[in-house]
Amino acid sequence: MQSVKIGILGLGTVGAGTAEVLTRNASEITRRCGQSVLVTMASVRDTSKPRSCDCTAFTLTQDPYEVVSSDDVDIVVELIGGYDLAKDLVLKAIENGKHVVTANKALIAVYGNEIFTAAEEQGVSVAYEAAVAGGISIIKNIREGFAGNKIEMLAGIINGTGNFILTEMRDKGRTFEDVLVEAQELGYAEADPTFDVEGTDAAHKLTILAAIAFGTPLQFDDVYTEGISNLDLMDVRYAQELGYRIKHLGIAKKTESGLELRVHPTLIPEKRLLANVNGVMNAVLVKGDAVGNTLHYGAGAGAEPTASAVVADIVDVTRTLGVAAQYKVPALAFQRDSIKSLPTKSAAEFDCAYYLRIEVEDVAGVMSQLSAEFAEQNISIEGITQKEPAKDQDTVSVIFITQKTIEGAVDRVIDRLESLDIVRGSVVKIRVEHLN
């Protein structure tokens, strides 16, 4: 029986998990592919370092270029992460006529257009299911399962670190800084957690999902990105009292005036399924014109959940070896000559509801002054809540939930509110999505 030969770049958590799954489930994979799939080479930084997988059946090298140039490798699996080296290795593998499987969302989001063009010209495949939400298979679901739909919107919890932090803040009343330390100790967050907590990781993933949902090029630079590091525990508590939960969402919407691509903290009604995705789990809500709302839930990270997606891609590539490019599923779901750029909205053009927390002097006439500013901008109010003043404090928190409106109008109201003598400090603004 003919074998397909795999070269892995990086034997860290996901790389070792991939080698383990390929070995453990070899007979099942062979039954699915019609041929065996064998790891023949892997590159690591230090060949003397102990590994969590059995490396005796394949060659280890400290030179990743040896893997992408080897005649003993048919499919290169890139699991080193990052931008520059990964890009160079992937393009070299493509140049050498090798198929590529990658879990590198940053690479695809930033350089995917260039990589897919090179792969098409060379007649090879680039698969990247593991780049978004690990074990959920959301890319395959959107790209293939919903091929008969016009996708209208998607919203996802696509970073497990941020979701873990927000869950702990809500359930245990812990501060962001406190939970972040634990997330790092548990291995959920890196020593430098910036990509996770400031939204960059989620923006990479949203870039990919939006492109395959709407038939546009990858456009990472157009994603509005806001993290959770400045989120106050007070707002997490107030949101829950009002029947909402705060989640860090990636949201993509296709509207008549362009795309909304945004990552930010969001209030969601607590009865929504997405509001009840907790801990490090991921979930993506996809709305299609034919299928309606669908929710895809599962582990978004970890050795074997991510390896599951990597191996699924290896199986897909193996099944289509020798198949002409025009008969394969396109990398970005749509035929390349039909992929079209669409304008993207600025934050001022976003259209949703808003939570505003205003710290005001505890004096008579406050509500009428605040409400007048909203009326001036024709913003309708869904609800108003005034909290009890804390002991020894001369200010109170007033919370407005608006109806759907344009964000530019909300920002004008905030500017006016912050200029009032009765308002102390900055107004807190968090977007609200009902996800109907």
Contact (CB, 8 A) for 75 and 100 = yes
State whether residue 395 is helix, strand or coil.
Answer: strand
- Cα separations (Å) of 296 from 21, 108, 274, 304, 386? 23, 21, 10, 18, 37
Q: Which residues contact 294 (CB under 8 A, 6 or more apart)?
A: 141, 285, 286, 287, 288
Q: Which of 98, 105, 140, 205 is catalytic?
A: 205
Please give the structure tokens belonging to residue 420: 């009032």
Nearby residues of 133 by Cβ (< 8 Å), 6 or more positions away: 156, 158, 205, 282, 284, 296, 298, 300
Evaluate the CA torsion angle 131, 236, 351, 414 in order and state its sign.
negative
Please state, as a whole number, how many other Cβ atoms lie within 10 Å of the Cβ of residue 270: 13
247 included as an active-site residue:
no
Residues 6+ apart with CB under 8 A from 365: none
Contact partners, residue 276, CB within 8 Å, separation at least 6: 245, 270
Q: Which two tokens stand for residue 261?
A: 């691509």
Contact 349, 407 (CB under 8 A): yes
Q: Is 184 exposed, middle or buried (0-12, 13-18, 19+ CB in 10 A)?
A: middle
Residue 138: which residues within 8 A CB-CB, separation 6 or more? 132, 156, 209, 284, 286, 296
Positions marked catalytic: 205
